[in-house]
A and B are shown apart, each in its own frame.
Chain A
């Protein structure tokens, strides 16, 4: 009898532990350095930033208010995940139709030195016209990366040139500018669509 009781206690302890782990992880946004948020359910993402769109328009956290938005970091010297993300978003937005008008995807370059406004304005013609590429000067970049608890680092390459390590994944922000989760473009398409639809309340 006591064996069964011990087993029961062990099971409940395991469930409690598992729940604790799940709750702990739910607020953790990898790579954003926001580890202090574990257990709160909401990472500390969001804050003032000011950048320039590929169209030349000034964009900041205030101009974006009132509509959910997506943020992802990248650069045009990335042949793989950055254009893939942009092409995938283009497809997803086509699939979502007018519901895709209800959020603004932002592609923030971590390489403003090479990604000039001219380069970005040409580059972005390949994608859904609702996707906005953004760049800023060093101070603006640093403030933006901080606002999204993100990370980037310039890494020299042997034989010249450089590459940039940066936060992967897409950060979701709600209409009030609050952190609303993340998505990975490599997640199953249905999951990505569901997250976007939830974000815009569709």
Chain B
């Protein structure tokens, strides 16, 4: 009985989970759930987040991000120090072996500059990530209001914890 329930649960998770788990892999680099927030009209920028995991024995670096929806993209880190918020470009993001870099937790974001369209909750858009050693990979960013909550229109299971 328990086994049956467990099997059903696994089947359910398999059906629901991976359909929206939204992971990518290039070389030894795993890219977990790239996502972005909806943008207000006329917003000149959009932020992108993901978790990058280097499963290889050597360090690597995220050196470039491009997307057809933006004029250009940069890696930025936000900081609040002594009550002052600031944001600075990161020149290549180091990915050490065995370490996961969670953009949200580390106050990092991809800054998509000059988005050509307004990003709506539930949208997806394409981007290319270029790693120094692992090379380039095409991914898509899911547009959702919050990291920990599913996007609208049934994109359940998009949580960052998945």
Contacts and interface: CB of A to CB of B under 8 A. Distances in A.
Same complex: yes
Q: Which of B43, B45, B46, B85 has the most CB of A within 10 A?
A: B85
B84 interface: yes
Interface in A79-102: 79-81, 83-84, 86-87
Contacts of B126: none
Which among B41, B46, B80, B83 has the greatest number of chain A C-beta atoms within 10 A?
B83
Interface stretch (B21-29, B86-94, B135-143, B152-160): B86-94
B112 A79 contact: yes
Contacts of B80: 168
B41 A122 contact: yes
Contacts of B87: 78, 80, 163
Contact of A32 (B45, B76, B83, B109): B83
Interface string B63-85: 00000000000001010101111
A126 B38 contact: yes
B89 A158 contact: yes
Contact of B45 (A79, A81, A155): A79
Contact of A29 (B39, B42, B83): B83
Q: Assign chain B's interface to a size class.
A: 20 to 34
Interface in A54-80: 76-80
B71 to A, nearest CB: 11
Contacts of A169: 83
Q: Which of B38, B80, B88, B89 has the most CB of A within 10 A?
A: B80
Contacts, number: 82
Interface size class of A (residues with CB under 8 A): 20 to 34
Interface in A87-144: 87, 114, 118-119, 122-127
A79 B47 contact: yes
A122 B40 contact: yes
A151 B84 contact: yes
Contacts of B86: 155, 163, 165
A123 B109 CA distance: 21
B111 interface: yes
A31 B82 contact: yes
A125 B40 contact: yes
A125 B118 CA distance: 13
B44 interface: yes
A77 B114 CA distance: 10
Contacts of B40: 76, 83, 86, 122-127
Given A79-B112, A163-B88, A123 B43 contact: yes
Nearest to B87: A163
Contacts of A78: 45, 85, 87
Given A79-B112, A157-B89, A123 B41 contact: yes
A44 interface: no
Interface of B: 37-47, 76, 78, 80, 82-89, 107, 109, 111-112, 145
17 contacts: A30-B83, A76-B40, A76-B42, A80-B76, A80-B109, A81-B85, A83-B40, A83-B47, A123-B43, A125-B40, A126-B38, A163-B86, A165-B85, A166-B85, A168-B80, A168-B84, A169-B83
